[in-house]
Amino acid sequence: MKLLLLGSGGREHALAWKIVQSPKIEKLYIAPGNAGTSLVGENVTIKVTDFAGLKVFVLEKEIDMIVVGPEDPLVKGIYDFFKEDNDLRHVAVIGPSKEGAKLEGSKEFAKGFMQRHNIPTARYKSITAATLNEGL
């Protein structure tokens, strides 16, 4: 299996280190990666939010699976991008949809979700620039 891991932090280094231990992994690419990930796989200079660039790379290298580390590409819809593209929908993407990523990407959305579904959480108040004085 050819796998593309997205991200450049310590989390991705730990994931890369563990992923390459699987006998099922033929090749591991990390975009963009870091010094640690370069020791266990091949770093590629593609931004995690460059979906068009990732598409070209995935098709060129015949990637089977993408593991998404950072929140940013998930919140921007990388899962949806791959699943809605006929050329890419066969690629397994490990991570939630754009809608699902809101739970992590938007604290206001997550708090509202918890309130609507009676999930215990600390009290909160959303503050905007217009309501800043209310929060002080």
pLDDT tens-place string over residues 50-77: 999 999 999 999 999 999 999 999 999 9
Domain boundaries, the chain: 2-97, 106-136
Q: Quick one: pLDDT band at residue 135, thresholds 50, 70, 90? A: low
pLDDT of 89: 95
pLDDT tens-place string over residues 74-127: 999 999 999 999 999 999 999 999 999 988 888 888 898 999 999 999 988 888
Please give the Cα distance from 90 to 95 (Å, whole number). Answer: 15
pLDDT tens-place string over residues 5-22: 999 999 999 999 999 999
Architecture of the domain spanning 2-97: 3-Layer(aba) Sandwich (3.40)
pLDDT of 69: 94
Classified as helix, coil or strand, 73 is helix
pLDDT of 112: 87
Whole-model pTM: value is 0.85
Q: Quick one: pLDDT band at residue 38, thresholds 50, 70, 90? A: very high
pLDDT of 106: 82
- Identify residue 41 by its one-letter amino acid code: G
What are the CA-CA distances from residue 30 to residues 19, 120, 121 (Å)?
11, 38, 36
Q: Are 47 and 53 in contact (CB under 8 A)?
A: yes
